[in-house]
Chain A
């Protein structure tokens, strides 16, 4: 399977994703420079974490205009796998590939910590190896991960099972205390209505090796590797 990791100016999780894809999973990797439209035949596009363009205006607001995003949008529309984490999630929302927006954390501070999240939608190519309501532990590192959407969108997300991850306590309860950023309905990650575009604030690439404190992120990568081998995308 071939992953394409998009690099915007100000992206910094690209090397971490690259390390996991190549060194941990042994999969194929190509970095996709934001100024290039060519996706080099990848099976999955990664939009990694960082501060694209410094995020000075609004997170992801400028990155969505990069040439590569046109190709990513076409790729997603054709059913291609697009996986955004952290800044990548913010960019996906700005680009309209996912509904809603990510605003400043409720505490008004950056948060770097481990967070428990509950998988509420295992029927996606990213999560099928997880059980429904399985609790996993993933790192977060963001100042603007507070998910908001209008009531109609929230109703649709809940009704159609598009909420993939919710912040929760270790037992799986999505409590207010377990919500690190104030997200509506404790949302940590969502998919689009066709399930091929996933946006999430946590960093799965930071927990794919035991020595970094946890391997729960591997379940997502492994789901994807096997999904890709069983479905033809193009």
Chain B
């Protein structure tokens, strides 16, 4: 047998293992040259190939009667009726944001916009899920990321309508930045990024190609270490103005005859874009790097093929039609050049004028990465907790605990963040940020789209299976609280290094949990992203943080719910059942400095019943308001309803079931619950409806006044709560 020499240093540079290298040599029947090795390295990275997560992702439900496009394209698409399809996807930009927060977040927004544009859709909304270390230490990350999201989104003119942010020590060195984009397209104009027949021309449009972002995809698949600082050139710089021009040009190109496909250049740049459009049609492609417009002199073919310069699109057009598109490019002052063509031989051939620099089977690039079957094993050490004894002491004054919780950065008002984002441009935002989910109207009809993004790393740290289920259930609850029926999911799986058995186990459990919840709630996963290796030297892995983006449909956006209490004298009710669910709660963390042992229990059948009840009650017009009970528990949810409605509530004393602690009744995070308000006269009908859905409905009190009062227990003025809630995230 011939001995194959393996240069580990070179392999490390392209993030391939010696085993993978040998696999390449065997399949190719020869050693790859340096360009080929680089191309394989980026496409075989976890970021592009999902080589680790693929076997797990297969269990996710991806089909449904309304699904037009599931995973595998640039974004998922769902039919919403009236001739429209909603297109959406979430993607992480964690590693770039750790190194360069502003540009990392900005280009994360830019990348996800292009994914939606590639489907032929006009982006209508952006959402972001963020995680940082505790303030004020994480201020550099926090300020930079928020500014970057605003800087890009505001300039490009797509409203940022929702998101979430949490602070926890585990994200101190490895913040999470997940950006989601939602777009709309007429169903008949939905595009797939497929190269189609041989002879079609490939045009590269937009920014010139520079050396920025080389090895970005590989970099995203490594742990962050000190050397990460030296990889700063792997972070790209965004140009939102160019993106806006590219967006409008793409919208015009889609109307041009002969345009076959549009493909975004994201991770792994030209290599990935060309390989993917070719692979989807079982075709090959020939690219001439000498035709790629450069920003810098002296770039090698290797650098051109791997550059992750932003704001570029690959356009596939029928031969002879290239020049018809010139008018669009001239109008928008965009540079476009034919860089190659689709071929029939199934190979991606790269030439530099006349010199051949690479020739690889397309399928080796896109599907060749050997699937890694890793070992998963629950951590030997179970989460330790002292809550057994320490929690014996219940706070004497639940009111002052409420004030403390409302001022916790994890629960405080997000207004200081979203006021920095244009959330109104597009004249579609009928429910702005600040409630459970944003609602946007669909042009020319009464349909409304509700959208949210949600996750809870703490629950997943305690029990990733349960946490995965809760992430889905909670996102669905956000939508249902507006009166919208959940349609479909996009997921972003943020985990540590899967080569650690306990991390792989977390990933496996979380995906199983997500899968179970998606099935139970009939919401297929239509797109998503996996971000592994979220670790730092010394810091260890982040909490397992699956983030769920979800879109729901309102038949009439004028008939909807929000959390604000509407009038004095309404009944305030708690929907759902309360247990001793203190584990993983914000209360336990803030007041007792503890994580707990078990996250809240979730029963998917009950979840479905409760959501069904809320939707039925909303449709019947029985509710004045609805709010999902989430982090902070019942009392925090109630306080939000009061603050948003500008009126208080007067309740009888809270008397939980005898085996439920009083603090759990107020602050426990039992799942499948809502706070609703209703006119007293509809109570009989509402109670009958609850019985029919087998859902518990408990009267908490009556709206009115300037305080939250529980008889014999506590009274807090709204002014005091508002002060704590509104100021916690203000820049000092």
Bound CA–CA A53/B429 (angstroms): 26
Contact between B426 and A16 (Cβ–Cβ < 8 Å)? yes
Chain A interface: which of B43-51, B239-247, B385-393? B239-247
Contact between A15 and B426 (Cβ–Cβ < 8 Å)? yes
Chain A interface: which of B274-282, B417-425, B454-462, B582-590? B417-425
Q: Which residue of B lies closest to A111 (CB)?
A: B419
Contact between B154 and A211 (Cβ–Cβ < 8 Å)? no
What total of chain A residues lie within 8 Å of the partner, measured CB to CB?
32
Q: A165 within 8 Å of B by Cβ?
A: no
Q: B332 within 8 Å of A by Cβ?
A: yes
Contact between A110 and B244 (Cβ–Cβ < 8 Å)? no
Interface extent on B, as a size class? Answer: 20 to 34
Given A9-B332, A10-B241, A143:B154 Cβ within 8 A: yes
Q: B647 within 8 Å of A by Cβ?
A: no
Interface string of B294-327 (1 = CB under 8 A from A): 0000000000000000000000000000000000
Contacts of A12 in B (CB 8 A): 156-157, 244, 425
Q: Which residue of A lies closest to B153 (CB)?
A: A110
Contact between A212 and B430 (Cβ–Cβ < 8 Å)? yes
Q: B558 within 8 Å of A by Cβ?
A: yes
Q: A113 within 8 Å of B by Cβ?
A: yes
Contact between B240 and A54 (Cβ–Cβ < 8 Å)? yes
Contacts of B242 in A (CB 8 A): 54
Number of A-B contacts (CB under 8 A): 79
Contacts of A15 in B (CB 8 A): 426-427
Interface string of A41-55 (1 = CB under 8 A from B): 000000001110111
Q: A109 within 8 Å of B by Cβ?
A: yes
- Cβ distance A164 to chain B, nearest Cβ, rounded Å: 22
Contact between B441 and A211 (Cβ–Cβ < 8 Å)? yes
Contact between A54 and B241 (Cβ–Cβ < 8 Å)? yes
Q: A37 within 8 Å of B by Cβ?
A: no
Q: A64 within 8 Å of B by Cβ?
A: no
Most A Cβ at <10 Å: residue of B239, B426, B557: B426
- Cβ distance A150 to chain B, nearest Cβ, rounded Å: 30
Contact between B419 and A9 (Cβ–Cβ < 8 Å)? no
Bound CA–CA A208/B239 (angstroms): 32
Q: A216 within 8 Å of B by Cβ?
A: no
- Cβ distance B450 to chain A, nearest Cβ, rounded Å: 15
Q: A112 within 8 Å of B by Cβ?
A: yes
> Restricting to B316-356, which residues have a CB under 8 Å from any CB of A?
331-333
Contacts of A141 in B (CB 8 A): 154, 422, 424-425
> Restricting to A28-64, which residues have a CB under 8 Å from any CB of B?
33, 35, 49-51, 53-56
Given A12-B244, A110-B150, A212-B430, A203:B424 Cβ within 8 A: yes
Contact between B333 and A9 (Cβ–Cβ < 8 Å)? yes
- Cβ distance B432 to chain A, nearest Cβ, rounded Å: 8
Bound CA–CA A55/B423 (angstroms): 19
Contact between B154 and A110 (Cβ–Cβ < 8 Å)? yes
A interface majority secondary structure: mixed
Contacts of A16 in B (CB 8 A): 425-427
Q: B165 within 8 Å of A by Cβ?
A: no
Contact between B423 and A112 (Cβ–Cβ < 8 Å)? yes
Contact between B241 and A9 (Cβ–Cβ < 8 Å)? yes
Q: Which residue of A lies closest to B147 (CB)?
A: A109
Contacts of A203 in B (CB 8 A): 424
Bound CA–CA A49/B154 (angstroms): 11
- Cβ distance B121 to chain A, nearest Cβ, rounded Å: 15
Bound CA–CA A143/B244 (angstroms): 18
- Cβ distance B265 to chain A, nearest Cβ, rounded Å: 20
Contact between A110 and B426 (Cβ–Cβ < 8 Å)? no
Q: Which residue of B lies closest to A211 (CB)?
A: B430
Contacts of B425 in A (CB 8 A): 12-13, 16, 49, 141, 206
Interface string of B555-584 (1 = CB under 8 A from A): 001100000000000000000000000000
Contacts of B427 in A (CB 8 A): 15-16, 19-20, 205-206, 209, 212
- Cβ distance B296 to chain A, nearest Cβ, rounded Å: 20
Most A Cβ at <10 Å: residue of B242, B244, B423: B244
Contact between A51 and B154 (Cβ–Cβ < 8 Å)? yes
Q: A189 within 8 Å of B by Cβ?
A: no
Contact between A109 and B241 (Cβ–Cβ < 8 Å)? no
- Cβ distance A45 to chain B, nearest Cβ, rounded Å: 20
> Restricting to B233-268, which residues have a CB under 8 Å from any CB of A?
239-242, 244-245
Contact of B155 among A51, A109, A112, A212 (CB under 8 A): A51
Q: A145 within 8 Å of B by Cβ?
A: no
Q: Which residue of B lies closest to A113 (CB)?
A: B419
Bound CA–CA A54/B245 (angstroms): 10
Contact between A10 and B424 (Cβ–Cβ < 8 Å)? no
Q: A139 within 8 Å of B by Cβ?
A: yes
Contact between B244 and A56 (Cβ–Cβ < 8 Å)? no
- Cβ distance A207 to chain B, nearest Cβ, rounded Å: 9
Interface string of A145-186 (1 = CB under 8 A from B): 000000000000000000000000000000000000000000
Q: Which residue of B lies closest to A205 (CB)?
A: B427
- Cβ distance A61 to chain B, nearest Cβ, rounded Å: 13
Closest 10 CB pairs of A and B: A12-B157, A54-B241, A16-B427, A51-B155, A141-B422, A112-B422, A110-B420, A10-B241, A211-B430, A9-B245
Q: List 16 A-B contacts (CB under 8 A).
A: A9-B241, A9-B245, A9-B332, A10-B155, A13-B157, A51-B155, A51-B241, A53-B241, A54-B155, A54-B240, A110-B154, A111-B419, A111-B420, A112-B420, A141-B425, A206-B427
Starting from the known contacts A51-B244, A110-B422, A211-B430, 12 additional A-B residue pairs (CB-CB under 8 Å) come to A9-B333, A10-B245, A13-B425, A49-B425, A50-B157, A51-B154, A51-B240, A56-B241, A110-B150, A110-B420, A110-B421, A206-B427
